[in-house]
Amino acid sequence: MLAVPDVDSKPRPLLRERVLLYGAETLGDVELVALLLGTGTEGHPVLELAARLLDDAGGPAGVLRLGAHGLSQRRGVGAAKAARLLAAVELGRRAGECALSDAGETMSSFDSVVDWARPRLAALDYEEVWLLGVDGRNVLRTARRVAQGGAHGCAVMPRDILRPALRDGASAIILLHNHPSGDPTPSADDVVMTRALCAACEAVGIALLDHVVVARGGASSLRESDAIR
């Protein structure tokens, strides 16, 4: 007796063909990572490798947190595939920055800054410092990561912030960074650096609107803590 063919048993298009035909948004997380990895290892297909990587990392955000060293050391990944994954993430980040700038989002309050920053920074287990450049109406024009460090902070000087701000022609700036500890309370170093930046901004005629710290436990404003006068 002949079996009736099951429509679901038909071979599915290759991942790259599905992206071209239907769009990358139709792929799941495992499939996206598998497409970037390209190949698996002997006895371990690429989809299995991608699923294991995501499971061990705790999802796409965890893959990013592994960084270049953590990814390249994983069996079946290596330096070339790690570079490909990180390049894709960075391209997506830059595209997101451009979209935000084009949208003309208004940074008119502490809450609006926090709404922008928390999804990007609060869950990271290493520190990043970001510079938002706004025009005279507090409309976001540029968003740049100006420093990246480890779990215990990163060193940044006023010149590291003012150079891109001047280059972008920002009327005013907002500084952002995260606390991987989960506590958004500004540290003594945060206060010292903010006051130094405030003085430098006054010297070149750029307004420092705020320095906001975000973390899993909330957010805080250096302006509200009187570090900016």
Query: Where are the CATH 3.40.140.10 domain residues in the chain?
Result: 105-221
In this prediction, residue 99 carries a pLDDT of 56
> Considering the domain 105-221, what is its CATH architecture?
3-Layer(aba) Sandwich (3.40)
pLDDT in tens, 122-141: 988 889 999 999 998 999 98
CB within 8 Å of 131: residues ≥ 6 apart: 142, 143, 144, 145, 146, 161, 164, 165, 173, 174, 175, 176
pTM over 0.85: no
In this prediction, residue 150 carries a pLDDT of 61
**What residue has token string 């710290």?**
213
- Report, as ranges of residue numbers, the positions in the chain whose pLDDT lies below 70: 1-13, 96-104, 150-153
